Chains A and B, each alone.
Chain A
Amino acid sequence: MIKSVVSHGIYIPFLRITREEYINTLGSCNADIKEKAVMDIDEDVLTMAVEAARNASTEIDISQIGVLTLASATFPYAERVMTGTIIQALGLNKNILTSQHGNSTLAGTEAFLSALGLMEETEAKYALVIISDAPAAEASSDMDHGFGAAACAFVLAKAEPGLRFEGTYAYSDEVPGLRYRLPGDKGVRDIGVRSYSAMAHDDTMQASVQELFNKMHRTPGDYQHVVLHQTSQKTAGALAKKLGFSDGQIKIGLVYDQFGDTGSCSPFIGLCHVLENAGKGAKIMICSYSPGSGSHALSFDYDNQFPDSSKKLQYFLNHKKYISYIHYLKIKKVI
């Protein structure tokens, strides 16, 4: 059965901190951000998820949603049903199929792929996929500098034109010591061996992208837009080049330097920007990555453009307030 994304919604927190602010206060900034999004003290990934989902479902009859999948590596509870929070906040039917995906930054593509499968089990027309994430590390850790926050949501439909899902390729391997979080810890840590981490990053994503090409008999030139997982502006750009993509193919989807590392949301927030700019008939590929390591590459055909959303990525790029590093530490409850 043909399944397509028929609408999308974004939420980016209002607060931002700039690279300059890091340099002025700490003397350096470990991340190649220009600025990054910061959740306010009364936000968490569930509040962001609700806002993104509301933005995605303004034109949709929500009583027709039969599947809800929710993804985050940074849920506010380590154990609890959280799809119920979303169901109440949106007023969805309480008897829909749900799944929660966490524990790694692959959660986003996992939730997306799960929704495609769960749609087979319901008569209802739509599935709602919400990905919301705000990676965190101790304030004293350099890893924290690039960690941002964002949410996005997608409504999937059966047999309707939109962003048609074409296929996927998944790849996982055992690569210990990279970006892991122990039970009870608030932030992630890493053994900090750069060459080891860079090799895992490139090899894992290369494996899923190359094999998706092989499976679908495609080449890099067949895609108008490619969005790779973004843990840094530079490494995402360099890997794209290595895989045979040009600057033009990755430019619109590369948004790391505006919002920071948005975890499992990373390839999807870039996808949202692509959807707001791509022409009809464009072929689009996205690729997620999680240290540990795993990657999912997904291929799409944009056979019908979405209705104009009032809250495009551009709105969130303009709608913001800069905070000081001291304010940032207060939000992180360090001071």
Chain B
Amino acid sequence: MGAHISIPMYQRAVSQKYRMLAQKCLHCGKVNFPPKAVCKYCLTGSKFEHIQLSGRGKIYSHTIIAGGGAPPEFAAEASCKGSYPVVLVELEEGPKVIAQLVNPLDREISVGMPVTAVFRKIYEEEGVIRYGFKFMPAPVS
């Protein structure tokens, strides 16, 4: 989620940002997320079918962004929360994605911890709200 993606460019990616719509390579069967022009696994396939990711996965790696370390678009969030965790998540369907972790529990964030995607505001600029996914610890059933 880099800084200053233009709004038209952001709009073209709403399906992937809002509900994790991914593409499955018709050549090798691997799931590409975010979508690619050519499959990043077989480097051959360029035909895909859309698939809806479950949003479920496990923490592969994690870090804490301290107040001063946040990019400008996250400054308001950082000043409210003090610091916030960012996680690299290995999704059930295979791809790994980076996003913020919300509602961290009192127990430590750890590798392998199950998480699930939630719909949140990512940041706001010129009154335009950019929505997208973050993760939260999966509910214990």
Show the binding face of A for B, using Cβ within 8 Å.
14, 40-44, 46-47, 50-51, 54, 76, 85, 88-91, 310-311, 315, 319, 321, 327, 330-331, 333
Contacts and interface: CB of A to CB of B under 8 A. Distances in A.
Interface in B61-113: 76-77, 79-81, 100, 102-103
B118 A51 contact: yes
A192 B133 CA distance: 41
B128 to A, nearest CB: 9
A80 to B, nearest CB: 10
Nearest to A53: B119
A257 B69 CA distance: 39
A88 B139 contact: no
B7 to A, nearest CB: 13
Contact of B120 (A47, A90, A315): A47
B102 A88 contact: no
B6 interface: no
A88 B15 contact: yes
B14 interface: yes
Contact of B139 (A42, A89, A319): A319
Given A14-B102, A42-B102, 13 more contacts: A41-B76, A41-B81, A42-B121, A42-B134, A44-B121, A46-B131, A51-B118, A76-B129, A85-B131, A88-B14, A91-B15, A91-B19, A319-B139
B60 interface: no
Interface of B: 14-15, 18-19, 21, 52, 76-77, 79-81, 100, 102-103, 118-122, 129, 131, 134, 136, 139, 141
Nearest to A76: B129
A310 B131 CA distance: 25
B120 A88 contact: no
A89 B131 contact: yes
Contact of B80 (A41, A76, A311): A41
A14 B105 CA distance: 11
B120 A91 contact: no
B139 A40 contact: no
B18 A89 contact: yes
B77 A41 contact: yes
Contacts of B21: 91
B80 A47 contact: no
B13 to A, nearest CB: 11
B119 A42 contact: no
A25 B52 CA distance: 47
A76 B136 CA distance: 23
A89 B119 contact: yes
A51 B21 CA distance: 17
Contacts of A315: 139
A70 B95 CA distance: 33
Given A311-B139, A319-B139, A51 B19 contact: no
